[in-house]
Structure 1
Amino acid sequence: MELKFRVWGRIARPVEDVFEAVVNPDRLSQYFTTGGATGRLEKGATVTWDFADFPGAFPVEVVELVENKLILLHWGNAEGNGTQTEATMRFTDCGDGHTLVEIGETGWSESQQGLDASYGNCMGWSQMICALRIWIEHGINLREGFYK
């Protein structure tokens, strides 16, 4: 059994605006990486993401990036075993001023620890899409204080 998930949501903004809100570290830090993000997401780059409510910055490797369509990331998983997971973010222009954002992740061991880690990341990515939507549509930081 392969541990994997996919979450998605529609955002009432053009795909260019939504994509930029993810790849731009200043924008990403407004609603998701509340401890800051260093570096723009670009193919081949390794950036750092930090969360004020989950301290400890960690590296995020950008494996693939197709402007306004796809971001493929590798990062250390929460199992603490030195392996990485692969997160795939897809952006689809719905043609009506809305963007469909889909995020999937794979790469955990088939163990209770892997299952627990995958559930945690599923919750985090679901919350990221919600926080992105509220921030880009209404200017509200949904994540601030959410996990404290």
Structure 2
Amino acid sequence: MSSQLLEIKTAIQIQKPVSEVFEAIVDPAKMSNYFIAKGSDRMATEKEISWQFPEFDMVFPIKVNKVERDKAVSFYWDIDGRQTLVEISLQPKEHNSTLVTATEKDMINDEAGIKWLKGNTEGWANFLACLKAYLEYGINLRKGAFDFMRH
């Protein structure tokens, strides 16, 4: 990453095996328990799907780049008219745990890029916390959390 480009990187360890974490990320029925309201299909390499979020009335097109079972998922989505690449990697850890790292890249280091960096860093940290709460405790932290954002 050059100083001209901004990149988001967040991580959390989840006390669940890699296979369970992977399924929670690629299966829209499971994702709807912590991240999206609805997804059109399961994530698979080079597949185009769509996501709906509970707080927005829009459908977000997702271009899945690559899915590596129990290892990684990457996709492109549109952020303010620009495609950004999201990479989610899974690394097995001790005691049947998984380190989940979410990276989103890149934006130009300007005012719009800094706004993106702030908002999406918060978003990916929230994604990871919600994923952890769902998998470890069966809790949907996102439910009602962003109702204030509805127009």
Which residue pairs with 1:62 in the alignment? 64
Which residue pairs with 1:4 in the alignment? 7
Matches within 5 A, 1:1-148: 1-33=4-36, 35-77=37-79, 80=80, 82-148=81-147
Paired with 2:51 and 2:117, the residues of 1 have a C-alpha distance of: 19
Paired with 1:135 and 1:17, the residues of 2 have a C-alpha distance of: 11
Paired with 1:4 and 1:131, the residues of 2 have a C-alpha distance of: 21
8 Å Cα contact 2:8/2:120 also seen in 1: no
Paired with 1:128 and 1:114, the residues of 2 have a C-alpha distance of: 20
Q: How many residues align?
A: 144
**Structure 1: gaps spanning 5 or more residues:** none
* SS of residue in 2 equivalent to 1:107: strand
Q: What is the CA-CA distance between 1:126 and the residue it aligns to? A: 0.6
Q: What is the CA-CA distance between 1:95 and the residue it aligns to? A: 3.5
| Offset from partner CA, 1:57-86 (integer Å, 9 cap, x none) | 111111111111011111101xx2x22001
Runs of 4+ in structure 1 off by over 4 angstroms are none
TM-score normalised by the chain length of structure 2: 0.91
**Structure 2: gaps spanning 5 or more residues:** none
Q: For the aligned residues, what is the CA RMSD?
A: 1.1
8 Å Cα contact 2:9/2:104 also seen in 1: yes
